[in-house]
Amino acid sequence: MHNGTTITQFIIEEQRKIEGATGDFTSLLNDIVTACKVISNMVNKGELIGVLGSAGSENVQGETQKKLDIITNEVFLKSNEWAGHLSAMASEEMDDIYEIPNQYPRGKYLLTFDPLDGSSNTDVNVSVGTIFSILRCPGERVCPNKDAFLQPGTQQVAAGYALYGPSTMMVLTTGNGVNGFTLDQDIGEFILTHPNMTIPQSTREFAINASNMRFWEQPVKRYVDECLAGAEGPRGEDFNMRWIASMVAEVHRILTRGGIFMYPIDEKMKAKGTGGKLRLMYEANPMSFVVEQAGGMSSTGRQRIMEVQPDDLHQRVPVILGSSEEVERVVGYHCD
Ligand code: AHM
Ligand code: MG
């Protein structure tokens, strides 16, 4: 029986440190927490409640949607639309922004989210997660448009993820370090279990989808070749490799024991005219905020991800993040 700090207590205590805080932000975070608990419950029940498998539809990016992509998107909208803290929301699963319906008051924040990242893993019972980011609504908040969301990641007020793994966890930053909470299913509360998470600066573990190797750019190929060469190669050490195909699980591993995660741009993507695989607003920016706040680094290879000025809601970027020494090395190879 854990008698520790609940996430609600933690958020309220953080709020007290901010002079003039109204409690809006605290309340918004609580609604996000509730949405993640509902999603955790659904993911956990899986086929018992008939939520696995494909929905037979495609999202704006032309990807086949799972039933759970659609259901969890709806859970997030319903949990967060009513309380009056938000002006609009945007999600990986919706073509356009979702304006808060007229029957509810509107507030000063914007919410972006990927309700179930790595959802191709649900059918095979592998960890998945929810990623979210909170921005301030610029200017008047009555009727925000898509442009209101196009802020660089440095403007994020808070970001985090819920990981639905052997335990359900919530990892959160409000720009003052990173803290991890574990869901105690019996009492229905997230409890602070991982205070002040920090990423070790050096690592001997990398994560990349190696099936794309023949399409990679030279700097990424060089980095991975050197890792694979192990103790006999230029690095003089053996490396380990992981690929879960679930970014939340991947980032969580890196927060726990270090590592580098890469989903770089490659020739195949360039030919299709996309800037990468992962989405800036729903995946790359929130994860970069968490990683940087835990002492790690996050880059496209050529630029700090959080400084990329978005020009489209669903924009994609190359992602290289994790232990700072290794990310710096890959960035250095891009400069060579
Ligand atoms: P999704 O948002 O459609 O689930 O895609 C994002 C996921 C990431 O979690 C993961 O890192 C990546 O896609 C895996 O891609 P791949 O299947 O190419 O290895
Ligand atoms: Mg995703």
Nearest residue CA, atom 11 of ligand 1? Answer: 247
97 assigned to some structural domain:
yes
The per-residue pLDDT of the chain, averaged, comes to: 94
What average pLDDT does range 79-91 have in this prediction? 96
Question: How confident is the model over 293-304, as pLDDT tens digits?
Answer: 999 999 999 999
Q: Are residues 174 and 223 in the same domain?
A: no
For residue 324, pLDDT beyond 80: yes
Q: Are residues 176 and 219 in the same domain?
A: no
What average pLDDT does range 49-73 have in this prediction? 86
196: CA distance to ligand 1 center in Å? 27
121: CA distance to ligand 1 center in Å? 9
For residue 178, pLDDT beyond 70: yes
Calpha distance 162→165 (Å, rounded):
9
* Burial grade of 125 (CB within 10 A; 0-12, 13-18, 19 or more): exposed
Indicate the top mutation candidate among 66, 121, 277, 315 to test ligand 1's pocket, ranked by most ligand atoms within 8 A of CB.
Answer: 277
The CATH number given to whatever domain includes residue 244 is: 3.40.190.80
Q: Is-contact 150 122, C-beta < 8 A?
A: no
Q: Are residues 179 and 215 in the same domain?
A: no
Q: Are residues 219 and 151 in the same domain?
A: no
pTM: 0.96
Q: Are residues 142 and 231 in the same domain?
A: no
Calpha distance 29→332 (Å, rounded):
37
What average pLDDT does range 199-208 have in this prediction? 97
For residue 79, pLDDT beyond 90: yes
Q: Is-contact 72 32, C-beta < 8 A?
A: no
For residue 133, pLDDT beyond 70: yes
Q: Is-contact 183 37, C-beta < 8 A?
A: yes
Indicate the number of domains in the chain.
Answer: 2
Q: Which of 139, 165, 194 is the last residue of a domain?
A: 194
Angle at alpha carbon of residue 69, lines to 63 and 73, rounded to 5°:
120
What average pLDDT does range 262-270 have in this prediction? 97
117: CA distance to ligand 2 center in Å? 4
Calpha distance 277→268 (Å, rounded):
11
Give the pLDDT band of residue 140 (cuts 50, 70, 90).
low
* pLDDT given for residue 1 in this prediction: 56
For residue 16, pLDDT beyond 90: no
Ligand 1 within 6 A of CB of 119: yes
